[in-house]
Structure 1
Amino acid sequence: MREIYQLLQKSPAELRQKIASVQGAEKRFVTSALILRDVLLLAFAIFYISLFNYLFGSENSSIAVGSFCMLLGLRFVSFDYQVTDSIVALGIVLSLMFFVGILWPIVPIALGWLLNFAALLLTLMLTTSNPKLGNGGIYAFSYIFIVGTPVQQSLIMTRGLALLTVFVLLSLVLLRHHRYTALDRRLSHVIRAFDVRSKTSLWQLRLALGISIALTTAQLLHAPRAVWMGYAAMSILLPQSDHVMPRAGQRLLGVLGGSLLFALLMKLVPVQWQFAIGPLGGLGLGLTANYFGHSVLNCFGALTMAYTLFGLKTSVLLRVVNNFGGIAIALLCTFIFSWIYANYLKSEKKDPQIEQ
């Protein structure tokens, strides 16, 4: 029992590596653990999100999804500094999501871009001082989803209560799992460490700029599902610039393939079973370790939600066009920042959190 529990704590990539290195009964055992992990995680996601929506309304489903991702992340990975300071930082991050989500739809576009850029940069500084921990994707995704899904004025208080509940829950997780983490490192150290000559700080700037430009571009074009453009830019802008181009190609092909496959399934699957396409995509995500596979399967959940609003053809077109726009913005930001770093900011100081 203890062995199966330990296997369930590993990532799909780790389990796949173990499956490849063992034979016979052990291979079957680890494979079973991979499948069980995936089923349990999907079941917990459905339970958590359904309960959250019941308590705070489907209008706050973006907070349900975002907080679920943060919950899973904080279970294993801290902010890499003292836990009491981490709780303060968490409160700041969730407050930014709340207030920018209210202000972004009503302020002038230029001010909206500045708000998103500043909030994203501060969020990344507070949660992702060490990019190797992987917090950047979790908190950027949650920010985009929550801020990009505004609510009407009558529901603002409910949204505030939802985020306050998330704050309490995640603070308890931080205390439970990370109360002895980095006791000598404080939030003030993280803030003072920001330096544009550091690749970590430059990546934080690049990611915040890329996502904010993508969201503003979608807003200027009045593109439905603006968050898709932000997600695409976010997923491409890795700390390691030399990984960006291969990842962009995988995202491009994955979105094309996933969108076409979804359209084909919607034509072939009987209407009464079409509801299962999204959950099946989620189940597949837990079994897939490579980025191309994730890009394909993510289309299932995204298009399942968009299909009811826009129809099949429009949803597929929006998925492809918004992703292409986000990828193009990410590549442009990478090129500009790489040029700036190489020509103006490069110093002898190494950045062990990013340098390979």
Structure 2
Amino acid sequence: MTTKFYDALQMDPAVLKRKIAACDTRQEKNYYWIAMAVRSVLIVAFAIVFISLLSGVFGSDNTPLAVALFCMMLGIRFVNFEYCIGDSLVTLAVVLAILVLVPSAAMVLPPLFLIPLHFTAFFAMLYMTTQRPEMGNGGLYSFAYVYLTGNPVLGEALVRRALMALVGYLICGAILFAKHRHHHKTTRFHHVMRKFDLSTPVHLWQLRMALGVSLVLTAGQVFGVERFMWMGFACASLLSEYPCSGNAVVRFRQRIVGAVAGCCAFFVLHLVTPEALHPLMGPLGGLCLGFCTDYRYKTAMNCFGALMLGTGIYGLQGAVILRIADTFLGVTFGLVFAALFHQLAAVRLLPDPEVE
């Protein structure tokens, strides 16, 4: 039985591709391919309108928060925090406060305080939002944290960022209430806190993510790495795999291959297309991302938006080289950190899934 078109638009590309593979007729396959294409176009169009509107009201220096809010808004429709709606609305406010205040604090604090600041803030955010890492919440909120850490603001711009966060809270809170108010009614956040145990895979994963990301962000800031948030994205992506193990070589290779392929594709397209079309390369990457299910292809398409912005700062060649270099630094750090962390903790607390 063919899924309703509206329902097909809500599906992940991986689900749609499985349905395509199961179809018996060309007509059915085309139906789901069209749904995937329309879904991708609608998401990119809505992203452009939503982000442009918020940036227009609260300033272009706060565009990173608009991007983060858009991603949160999409994710929160399908994934809740695994506890009652009242406590979820409170923790959503705390998460947004972390995203607004911590990057600015990290900008002015001495290096000595950066690791504890990032670790405490990032671990708290993961603990509040990600009880089931397999649902993707960890990747979403880690992206938001790293992106905003790489784009801090102070003064009047920080006030505008706080006001944007308030608007975002009203929107995301309304969606959270509408979609999840009947879920986990008897579970309170303090029940979740009482269950904390490093012998469980999810809490070990949260600890590893928080420690690894806090270390790589601190290193990037202290050593003045250009566009260090790209290094943070790469490391966080490698460490976000769940359940965690010490063997991150496969994801390491996939991230490198994807980044190099994406940078090369962007470089060639930027050279062969008219200058008037260059601003469309970011949305083009977003459209293509809507068809991707493989991690390497997702990594490649994510390069387009990043490089579109980076080219305006560093030039085409400089942005491409910097993206590849930062990616290599981030995944190399993540690879070494994962191996060391696994040796120190996971061997005793979490069996290697490959062994099982």
Same fold flag (TM > 0.5): yes
Structure 1, gaps ≥5 residues long: none
Q: Which runs of 4+ in 1 moved over 4 A?
A: none
Q: Is the 8 A contact 2:80 2:176 kept in 1?
A: yes
Residue in structure 2 matched with residue 8 of structure 1 by the alignment: 9
Partner of 1:42: 44
For normalisation by structure 1, the TM-score amounts to 0.94
In structure 2, the partner of 1:235 is 237
Cα deviation digits, residues 196-251 of structure 1 (max 9, x gap)? 12221111111111111111111122122111111101111112235732111110
2:332 corresponds, among 328, 332, 340, to 328
2:57 is matched with which residue: 55, 58, 64?
A: 55
SS of residue paired to 2:292: coil
Partner residue, 1:145: 147
CA drift of 1:341 comes to 2.9
Q: Secondary structure at the match of 1:104?
A: helix
Superposition deviation, residue 5 in structure 1: 0.4
Q: Say whether 1:297 aligns with 2:298.
A: no
CA RMSD of superposed structures (Å):
1.9
SS in 2 for 1:30: helix
> Which of the numbers 91, 99, 102 marks the counterpart of 1:100?
102
Residue type at the aligned position of 1:241? C
- The answer to whether the 8 Å contact 2:281/2:305 transfers is yes
Q: Classify the secondary structure of the residue corresponding to 2:339.
A: helix
Look up the match of 1:270.
Answer: 274
Residue identity in the other structure for 2:243:
Q
The one-letter code matched in structure 1 to 2:277 is: W
Measure the CA separation in 2 of the matches of 1:275 and 1:167: 30
Corresponding residue pairs, total: 351
One-letter amino acid of the counterpart of residue 5, structure 1? Y
Deviations 1:60-108 (A, max 9, x none): 1111100100000011111111111111111111111122122101101
1:19-34 → structure 2 map (5 Å cutoff): 19-22=20-23, 23-34=25-36
| 8 Å CA contact 1:214, 1:325 repeated in 2 | no
Aligned counterpart, 1:70: 72
Per-residue CA distance 1:278-313 (angstroms, 9 max, x = gap) = 111111000111110011111111000000011112
The residue identity in structure 1 corresponding to 2:14 is: A
Q: Distance in 1 between matches of 2:235 and 2:341?
A: 14
Change (3 A) 1:32 1:344: closer
Give the counterpart letter for 2:149 in structure 1.
Answer: V
TM score, norm. by length of structure 2: 0.94
- For structure 2, the 5+ residue unaligned runs are none
Query: Does 2:150 match 1:121?
Result: no
Q: Distance in 2 between matches of 1:337 and 1:24?
A: 49
Secondary structure at the counterpart of residue 182 of structure 2 = coil
Q: Which amino acid aligns with 1:336?
A: L
Instruction: Provide the rounded CA distance (Å) in 1 between the counterparts of 2:40 and 2:95.
Output: 29
Distance 1:45 1:342 in 2: 39
Q: Per the alignment, do residues 75 and 342 of structure 1 end up closer, same or farther by CA in structure 2, a change over 3 Å counting?
A: closer
Using the aligned pairs only, state the percent identity.
36
Deviations 1:132-164 (A, max 9, x none): 221100111111112321113121211111111
Partner SS, residue 4 of structure 2: helix
Cα gap change, 1:345 to 1:14, in 2 (>3 Å) = closer
Letter in structure 2 aligned against 1:104:
A
In the alignment, what sits opposite 1:219? 221
1:256 aligned residue (254, 260, 264):
260
Instruction: Give the C-alpha shift of residue 345 in structure 1.
Output: 3.5
Q: Distance in 2 between the 1:103 and 1:152 partners?
A: 9
Alignment CA distance shift 1:258-1:186 (3 Å) = same
> What residue number does 1:311 align with?
315
CA contact (8 A) 1:258 1:296 kept: yes
Query: Per-residue deviation at 1:46?
Result: 0.7
> Aligned equivalents of 1:152 and 1:92: distance in 2?
19
Secondary structure of 1:151's aligned partner: coil
Of 96, 109, 112, which residue of structure 2 is paired with 1:110?
Answer: 112
Q: Is the 8 A contact 2:62 2:157 kept in 1?
A: no
Q: Which region of structure 1 is more displaced relative to structure 2, 332-341 or 117-126?
A: 332-341
For residues 71 and 52 of structure 2, what CA distance do their matches in structure 1 show? 15
- What SS does the aligned partner of 1:241 have? coil
